[in-house]
Amino acid sequence: MSSLLLASALGLGLSTNLAQAEDATLAARLDPILERAVAQQRIVGTVVMVARQGRVVYQRAAGFADREVQRPMREDQLFRFASLTKPLVAVAALRLADQGRLDLQAPVSRYLPYFTPQLADGTLAVPTLAQLLSHTAGLHYGFGEDSNGPYHRAGVSDGLDGAPLTLEENLRRLAGVPLDFKPGTQWRYSLGLDVMGGVLAAATGQPLPEVVQQQVAAPLGLHDLSFHVSDAERLATAYRDGYPRPEPMSEPYLLPMPKGGILYSPARALSTQAFASGGGGMQGSAGDYLAFLEALRQGRLLTPASQRLILEDQIPGLQRDDAPGWGFSLGAAVLRDARLARTPQAPGTLQWGGVYGNAWFIDPARELSVVILTNTAIAGMSGPFPEAILAALYRD
């Protein structure tokens, strides 16, 4: 072997050995966190995956997909995504815009003529598609209001319950409720992505599941992302937080909140009759979601202009009272100020979670993508478990 080839081979060997050592160090940090969370019964089961510089450096399943029948969690387990659905639908919308089939600055009524909401004083105030994606459309979620709130009175579904509605019926009900504020003037987490789901269906003439399949799943060769699970054995059982341990969710299950509450229907994931909620209706695996995040981080799905819309803060003039230091793109939260947000993540980090117990983030500066899926609401989304994983990833 020539000296050049030998040096190259030695360099490759050293690089491989270093990578393996780094992976082992990361596993030594993360494995105990997963095992402790299961042993202490904070969560029932989880799959955590981490990619750095385009390479999967950690993947682990722990605990149970179904504790009552002792079915162990598998790395390819399917989970109810809840709001992890939103970035998938947002990217589908941005891809259609890149193809010239959607105008993000157009009013929603161009695609859904019946969606002509008004302000409380009766003034017509139709939001744009971009305002749906950035949660500045003047909408909100029913789970943030009491039982006598306007969405409850109108029978609007948040997309997680088992309401026997079609997507159009739900959006027509929503359109009849006055907006909270003039579009573009405030930020409020909302049903905007459910409305966008209706827009995508109208713009393409296809059901929303087909749009997401064609625009996101198929280009990446992903097979586990869906609005309906046909194989119940692959779907992790849904649990709720409880003391001394989490308990299986009832059907339905109401999670009380300081004002209102989240109404879940775990059976919705298996129902062929449930409408496709663009804000919370999908299911999938950690592997597929990590592949999606990495494709997004690397710019393999969108044009550079659309890439900026989803990776950069699109509400720079607005403050989010719910999350100091964070802004919002056309798809997820964007870190503005790490000190104010009290996080080790780099400014520009993109992240969000799902109320079935899931979380993810992309730190572009560190070329890092992370997926944390659990079957325990809401301990897997926020609290000691995901916080411990974050701390371990940034320990150095």
For the annotated catalytic residues, the residue numbers are: 83
**CA-to-CA distance for 76 and 72, rounded, in angstroms?**
11
* Token pair listed for 252: 């339905």
Phi, psi angles (nearest 5°) of residue 62 = -145, 150
Structural tokens at position 30? 């993360």
Distance CA 66, CA 218 (A): 30
DSSP state of 118: B
Other beta carbons within 10 angstroms of residue 233's beta carbon come to: 10
- Helix, strand, coil percentages for the chain (3-state, nearest 5): 40, 20, 45
- Quick check: 281 and 227 in contact, CB under 8 A? yes
DSSP state, 319? -
| CA–CA distance, 142 with 170 (Å, rounded to integer) | 12
Based on C-alpha coordinates, what's the Rg of the chain?
Answer: 21
Backbone angles phi, psi at 107, to 5 degrees: -70, 150
- For 310, residues 6+ apart whose C-beta sits below 8 A from its C-beta are 87, 90, 91, 94, 296, 302, 329, 330, 331, 332, 350
Instruction: Return d(Cα 34, Cα 385) in angstroms, integer.
Output: 8
3-state class (DSSP) for residue 30: helix
Provide the 3-class DSSP secondary structure of residue 61.
Answer: strand
DSSP 75: T
Whole-number Å distance between alpha carbons of 329 and 321? 16
Q: How many CA atoms lie within 13 A of 7 on its CB side?
A: 3
